[in-house]
Structure formats: structure tokens, C-alpha cells
Amino acid sequence: MSIRYIKETKQLILETKNTGYHMKIDQLGYLQHMYYGPKPGQDDMSYAFRYYDRGFSGNPYDKRYDRTYSLDSMPQEYTSFGVGDFRINSIAASCSDGSRCAEFRYVSHEIKEGKYSIPGLPSVYENCGKAQTLIVTLKDTAANIGIRLYYGVFEDLDVITRSAEIFNAGEEMVWLRKASSMCLELPYGSWDMMHFHGRHCMERQAERVKLFHGVHTLVSGRGMSSHQHNPFIIICDHDTTEDSGPCYGMMLMYSGNHKTEVELDQFESVRVVMGLNDDRFRWELAPGTSLNTPEVILSYAEGLTQLSHNYHRCIRNNVVKGKFKYSHRPVLVNNWEATYFDFNEEKLLQIAEKAADLGMELFVLDDGWFTNREDDNAGLGDWVVDTNKLPGGLESLISKVKAMGLRFGLWIEPEMISEDSDLYRAHPDWALTAPGRAPMMARNQLVLDLSNPDVHEYLYKTISGLLRDYDIDYIKWDFNRPISDVYSHATPSALQGEVPHRYYLSLYKLYDRLTSEFPDVLFEGCAGGGGRFDAGMLQYSPQIWTSDNTDPVSRLAIQYGTSFGYPCSAMGAHVSASPNHQTGRKTPLSTRGITAMAGSFGYELDLTKLTEEECAEIKEQIKRYKDVEPVVHSGLHYRLSDPSENKGYYCWEHVSEDKSRCLLSIVVTDPQANYTLAHVRLKGLDPNAVYSVGGEFECRGSTLMRNGYTFPQLTGDYPARQLDIIRI
């Protein structure tokens, strides 16, 4: 069993293959967090927590004469608020009498076989392995607010999931002002935090900082998980490396506004609270109703590499759904950087014909295919084919592309609306705009109010209509501006604080309807590139456009940071033109190919302008990718270089699960005269097996992992090399 209750000591113990998570119901009914880390057995871990007078830390009324007992120092599973714990809290609410406090104590618990699901929200699911669920009910009797804490235990994955359901058990209205998914305490230790910040075209830049006293807050209020702060952090020891040292991962499975708070308190204890962003959040809980929070995926490991492997396996196997979770992803060409808005059918067919000749499998028509769309200032919302560009419509173009042996994909941005569109002229109230206020514009577009059921149905009918009317194999679903001026014209004024979350409940429902009805269509997520790269979106789109920045050198840092939590199979990665359109940098075609092969592979350039030599090289790249795709998508990923060490290169490795094949890749970012050759120790090989190393020599796995491999001198502008290491 993965979940145990020890009645004598009132312990609740969750166990995975390598980890243990311990809670205890204390003498007053508070649910204490006692331990999370390497599996310790069933010892009562509360021995490590000492009660003593902390000096003006308040005491619950039941313990008013015991100054050693204080919520302000106690490690808790989900905190009370307004009653003496002055650290960051998990929840905040207002009651009908105006009070803003609640004290949650244990009521009951239930252990179930299988994994819980969350109404309306994506969550980790069972797949080829058993899971168990623990539900702990807490309640405040004065405010009549209850909380069900959900824990999903995936023993084989070394993953524990968390979610909360907050319910009104009374007869008066309650207004939630904060509703977090998880609180995790680390009472002892000295910790760093890794987070993944960025901006458009430079997403998920890995940063590691030592925790200081106070609260670190990572937040997105942009209406999406954002380019700026990914909803994933790692707490690790100062000495933790890729290969050793304790580290805790916390990943919120949500695509909207989120908030993570990390507090190092006065007693050197660390508390992490993660969930919905509470800024302008207000949720009405009528008697008998509840709110479910998004799921947090927790994992503990020794070493950052193992932590990444835990997340990669979980997302590949238990988050991504549908036909494409394991199957080959077609090598595509997208016309965007080849033509932008300036194209006609003839130009598109020239690119498609060249793509077929080179061995590509999917042609994707990007923005500009619908009426009134000569630039990004108009047309969004109408989704009617522009017959000036495409005289025969989509049907003619698709039939001609299919006749070449290619599949067909289409770009859409369904959540957006242009003021200059028939849809806006008919339904201006469908846009999120505040009354009497000129809205902020971005790309001269507004955001549709998906919390409005009429908008939801319009989008369902529009997208499903496209997929029924045309033979479409792939949808690139874009989202190109943050959400501001959040006001729903279909929602009462008292409920406006619910609109941002209701937006995502509607979006997930829309995705679920479409992916269920059209299981053979590959959906790729996009939000100005990587602005919505999160586990919530990966439930519906098995790959996400990693960044609008297609420069291979910039992509190295983006893909490096992304790899800490997300598998390579999820990263859309394309070979683009040189000089690059975003940076102007010139790079060899081989370097662009090797960088893009670390994800879901494709091309984004004008194929008709290639030289014969480039065409020959691309043909070989495509053959190569199809050969290595299984080990890239399903194997173990190892980061063999750390950019903070400024060695002038990025090096990474993919190893098949059975250790029979290794793909070793390097890109030199700072070639120097008479420089020290790049030398790396390989990882993940069978120590007793003999491997052929790029056809150069044969060597035991143990030797390659201990003594390493030295690359030959790589010169020129951003040189790269990829090596096959095959067990013989």
C-alpha cells in the first residue's frame, strides 16, 4: 500500500518507490507536516519538532496557558488564516458577518484505490501503474468552511499530487479571497530556490538563488502561465548538483494566473504555498457549494537530473493524452517565417512541393489565411477563408497539398478578437473590456470572454466546423497577448473576481471537447511562443511551441531551462533561416538541426530559397531525426553542461530506457583560439556493456561515465556535433 494510517500515533504516511511523506494529526486536531524526503519507514517523525516558548508567538485558545504551542511555528499541511499564524497562508476568506479568519482542524480521512480527478481541471491520471488517493477533511466550525485535501500517490513515478476542495458547510455566504492548491513545509535545512523566469523570445531561463529571510513571490497576472514566470520551482540544498543532493520539485498544472510564495521565516523554516493568483480574485461560495483548486505535481529526488526524469516520465505517461503521446510526430514545415502575411496559393504550393521532395510530412499554414488579415491589426474572430489569397479556398489548397503526400495543418488564434472584425461588430460585449474605459491593446486585438457560455459555444462550433469541413491533421493554437481589462459583460458585478478562473475552466472544457471529438488531430499549443508552456496545456496538446525565438543559440538556454521540468517530446523546435529573423545571428545549418533535434522537429523557413547543398543536408537531417526520435522523445535526458560555468558550450545527452543507445550533442557558443577541448562525463549508460563511440572506438560504459569523452576541436561560427554511442 502507498498510503497508511497509523492509528496509535495518528500518522498519515504516503510512500512512493523512493520517498516518504509524513503527516500527523496532533492533540488539538491540527494536521501537521512532519517529513518529505527519502523513504524513512514508519517512524513517528514528530520527534524532530520541538515545542518551546518562541517569544510572543500566539497560542490557540485551547493552549492559552502553554506558550510553547503556536501555529506561528508549527509545520502544517494547509494553513489556517487570521488566527495567529503570521506567515504566508494557504487560504483567505470573508464571511457574511465580516470576519476574516478560520481555524482548520482534522475531521476525517479516507483512503481510496485509484487517482482522484478534479472537476473541470486537468490532472495527472493513472496509466500502466497503480495509484492511491488520500482525502483529508478539515473544518472551521465557526465560519463553517471546510477543506478536502486530495493527495494522489504514484508509487512507481515517485510523484505525489496535491489539490484542495474548499466548501461552504454553513448556511451563510462565504467569499474566498485566496485559494491555494498546496502548502509544503521544510522545517529544517538550508535551501536554494531554482525558478524559470524570462520574457517573450527568452522563456524559462534557469536561475538559482539562495533563500533570504522574507517572502519570495513568483507570480503571473497576465491571464496565462506566462513567458515571465513558469509555474514550476525547485527547492534544493546549497550543494545539490545534477547528480546528488536533496531537491523538491513543485509544478502547478494550470495555464492561467498563478502564484508561488516561498518564505524563509524567523526560525529558519521554509514554507511554500502554490496555487491561483489571489490578486483581484474573489470567489463566491454559496451554502453547499465548493471550489476545486488546480493540481500541484510534487516530486523529491537526489540530484536535479533524477528530479527531471521523474517529471518527464510523469508528463509523458500520465499527463499527455491521446494518439500522439507515444507515436511519431510528423516532421513539419511552417510557412510563417517564410512568408509572414505575404503569400498566395502558388507560393504556398511551391513550399509544400519542396517540403515533400525533402522528406517532410506535414505542411502548416500559419496566420493570414482568413479575410481582412493582411497584417495583425484585423480579422481575428471571423475565420472565413480569404479567397483573394486562396481562390479555391482551403479545400483546394488542402487537396493539392495532400496530393503531394503531405498532411495539412492550420494556425488559429481562437481566443482573440479584432475590433476590425465582423464578430466584434456583431458582439462587442463578447470581448473582455471594462465599462467606460478604452482597453489596453496588444497587437491591436482583444481577448474573447471565454467565461461567457455563448463565446464558448461559438468557438466550439467554429473550430469543430473547420475540422469537420476540411481534412486537417494538425492545429497550431496560438494566444498572442496577455489578458487585461478583465471584465465580463455576461457576469454580475459581484462575481467579476471569478472571471479569470472561469475563463480557464471554459478553455479546458473546450479543449477536452475538441480533442475527444477529433482524436486524430495533433494539437500544438502556443502563446506568443512559450507563454503558456505548462502541464495543464500538455494534457491536451502533447507539444508546445517552445519560443518564438528560433535562433539556435538562444534556443539552447531556453531548451536547457525547459528541460528541468518538461520532456523533450513537449518542446516544438524548428530549423529556421540564417541570418535568424529574431537575432540576425548567422549559424550553420548543421547547428540549427542539432539544436532542433532536441525537441519535436520541424522547419520554419522558405524552402524554395535553399541551395542544392542545403537541400541535400536537410534530407539527411530528416532521415536522422526519424532515426533518433524514439530516444529523444522516450529516453532519459541528461544535461552535461551548466551555462553558469561559462565553458562556452552546451552539451546534452539522450539515453534510451534500455541503455542500448545514447545520443550525445554539443553546440559551441564561444569558440576560442587554442581553447581547452570540451570534455564531458557521460551518464546513464550500462557500466558493464561495451559501446561503439561514434564509430571512433569501443569503450565500456563505466569508462565513459568515469573518464568521459573529449570532443575534437570544433571551430568556426557556432559549430556543433552529434554522436551516436551504441551498445554492441
Q: What are the residue numbers of the active site?
A: 534, 614
Cell of 496: 467579476
Residue 338: its H or E element: helix 336-339
Whole-angstrom distance, CA of residue 97 vs CA of residue 597: 60
Residue 45's Cα: distance from chain center in Å? 33
Q: What is the CA radius of gyration of the chain?
A: 27
Whole-angstrom distance, CA of residue 571 vs CA of residue 292: 29
Q: Are strands 91-95 and 174-186 parallel, antiparallel or unpaired?
A: antiparallel
Residue 595 phi, psi (nearest 5):
-65, -45
In the chain, count of helices (H) and strands (E)? 12, 38
Do 161 and 297 meet the contact criterion of CB atoms below 8 Å apart? yes
The DSSP letter of residue 727 is E
Q: Given CA atoms 115, 118, 124, 126 in this order, what sign does their dihedral have?
A: positive
Do 575 and 606 meet the contact criterion of CB atoms below 8 Å apart? no
Q: First CA to last CA across the chain, in angstroms?
A: 40
CA neighbor of 706 nearest in space, from 675, 688, 683, 678 = 683
DSSP 52-107: ---SS----GGGTT-TT--TTT--BSS--BSSS--S--SEEEEETTS---B--EEE
Residue 143, classified by CB atoms within 10 Å of its CB into exposed (0-12), middle (13-18) or buried (19+), is buried
Give the list of residues 6+ apart from residue 98 with CB closer than 8 angstroms, or none. Answer: none
* Torsion angle of the four alpha carbons 611, 614, 615, 620, in this order, in degrees rounded to the nearest 10: 170
Residue 61, classified by CB atoms within 10 Å of its CB into exposed (0-12), middle (13-18) or buried (19+), is exposed
Residue 627 phi, psi (nearest 5):
-75, -40
User: What Å distances lie between residue 195 and 250, 549, 673, CA to CA?
Assistant: 10, 20, 35
Whole-angstrom distance, CA of residue 653 vs CA of residue 661: 10
Residue 602's Cα: distance from chain center in Å? 21
* Torsion angle of the four alpha carbons 46, 48, 53, 55, in this order, in degrees rounded to the nearest 10: -110
Cis peptide before 579 (omega within 30 of 0): yes
Long-range CB contacts (< 8 A, 24+ apart) of 309-314? 309/636, 309/637, 310/157, 310/158, 310/159, 310/249, 311/249, 311/251, 311/564, 311/565, 311/566, 311/567, 312/566, 312/567, 312/568, 312/636, 312/637, 313/157, 314/124, 314/154, 314/157, 314/159
Whole-angstrom distance, CA of residue 348 vs CA of residue 605: 12
In three-state secondary structure terms, 706 is helix
Kindly list the strands in the beta sheet with 11-15, ordered across the sheet, starting from the edge strand earlier in the chain: 3-6, 11-15, 19-25, 31-38
Q: Are strands 522-525 and 474-477 parallel, antiparallel or unpaired?
A: parallel
Give, in degrees to the nearest 5, the angle at Cα 222 between 382 and 317: 85
The DSSP letter of residue 155 is G
Whole-angstrom distance, CA of residue 446 vs CA of residue 459: 15
Do 390 and 396 meet the contact criterion of CB atoms below 8 Å apart? yes
